[in-house]
Amino acid sequence: MRVQLLAYTRQNPALSPQAVASLGDLATLWKGLGSFPEQMIEFAGRVCYRSTHRMGSAPEFISARVREGHEDIIEHVVATLRFDDTDAPLRWRMMNRHCEVSDLGGGGWVVSGNTRVWLDLFRRGAGLDALPYLHAIAPKVYEEFSGAVQDADLTLPPAKIDPDALQPTQDGPMRVTLLGFTQPLLDDPALLEHHGAATFLFEGISRACTHQLVRHRLASFSQESQRYVDLSRGGWQPVVPKAVANQPEAMAELEGFWRIAEEKYAKLRQLGIRKEDARFLLPNAAETRIVTTMNFAAWGHFLWLRAVDTAAQWEIRTMGQRALAMLYALAPAVFQPQWDVYLERFANP
């Protein structure tokens, strides 16, 4: 079997510690230890615990999360490899349905999986020819194989994209940041659709919005936890719909309710109630943030429903449209149909 690395998650070139210095805690991303993929994995984990200020302080952070089963965080890094002279990838797809497998004919296959998929396959003795690449990409994830593997060369051609189109966007409290992406050099858009992937950090959005987002099942999510993060006074901000903000009487009702929710949450905590139970008081308006990864095909479906459909709810639609602009910049051949509809319905109404 011959193996060739085609792509793995790389950093959005528009981001650097300097470029994002004023964007919340985004610059902590580079304080993580190890490779960029590992930094992204740690960042996703620390978004859940609101502990990004501790990036890089615990060398065992990733392996500890994997050991305890908090494994969504290792779903945000994707690697694509080509395999020749084999039909094994079909079997891998049957072993783990979360990998993408495309038949190139003549015994050639393109296989994409996130680092969790590859870990699962390796543990079951499958796909081991890819291990030297995956171990080089994210050594902490594959620590259990260290010693038995020599890292492969990860050199790839530079990505072909305009960083200006990939700048984070801000709409009121909502910030949309493309953290990383894979862009395998596959000429056929149908192949690219299934093997390209992108990871976004969505911030300043309501739980009402993320509840819609997480209904999309062909995706990976790491969201700030209301079980582990104390949301007492000042711990959360509400997201205010424009329709409410524009009506002083409605706004007063909403503000009154938030104040009560805040007070009662703090009271329950004082009474010794755990965070996981005190959160029952929190409203849908509570601001949250979430790291989200999908392949281009799943993003495409999401965009049809949530970004370019006039029936989509305003908050997720705004978020989807900001993501669409960046995805279109990454892969115009894949996202042209959604982009055209967006322009027709929203940019030139």
Ligand X SMILES: Cc1cc2nc3c(=O)[nH]c(=O)nc-3n(C[C@H](O)[C@H](O)[C@H](O)COP(=O)(O)OP(=O)(O)OC[C@H]3O[C@@H](n4cnc5c(N)ncnc54)[C@H](O)[C@@H]3O)c2cc1C
Does the protein bind ligand X through residue 269 (CB under 6 A)? no
Does the protein bind ligand X through residue 208 (CB under 6 A)? no
Q: CA-CA distance, 203 to 217, in Å (whole number)?
A: 20
Radius of gyration, alpha carbons of the chain: 21
**Of 21, 243, 271, 311, which lies in the binding site for ligand X, with binding defined by CB under 6 A?**
311
Q: Is 306 a catalytic residue?
A: yes
Pick the closer one to ligand X by CB: 316 or 331.
Answer: 316
Residue 109 contacts residue 82 (beta carbons within 8 Å): yes
Does the protein bind ligand X through residue 214 (CB under 6 A)? no
Q: CA-CA distance, 31 to 53, in Å (whole number)?
A: 9
Residue 323 contacts residue 175 (beta carbons within 8 Å): no
Does the protein bind ligand X through residue 305 (CB under 6 A)? yes
Does the protein bind ligand X through residue 233 (CB under 6 A)? no
**Of 21, 22, 97, 217, which lies in the binding site for ligand X, with binding defined by CB under 6 A?**
217
Compute how many residues bind ligand X; rule: CB under 6 A: 8
Would you state the structure tokens that stand for residue 121, as one six-digit string? 């396959």
Q: CA-CA distance, 11 to 22, in Å (whole number)?
A: 19
Q: Which of 305, 118, 131, 99 is nearest to 197 (CA)?
A: 99
Does the protein bind ligand X through residue 301 (CB under 6 A)? yes
Does the protein bind ligand X through residue 160 (CB under 6 A)? no
Q: Which of 306, 317, 322, 345 is catalytic?
A: 306
Pick the closer one to ligand X by CB: 146 or 313.
Answer: 313
Residue 44 exposed, middle or buried by CB count within 10 Å (0-12, 13-18, 19+): buried
**Of 54, 93, 98, 216, which lies in the binding site for ligand X, with binding defined by CB under 6 A?**
216
Where do contacts with ligand X occur on this chain (CB under 6 A)? 215-218, 301, 305, 311-312
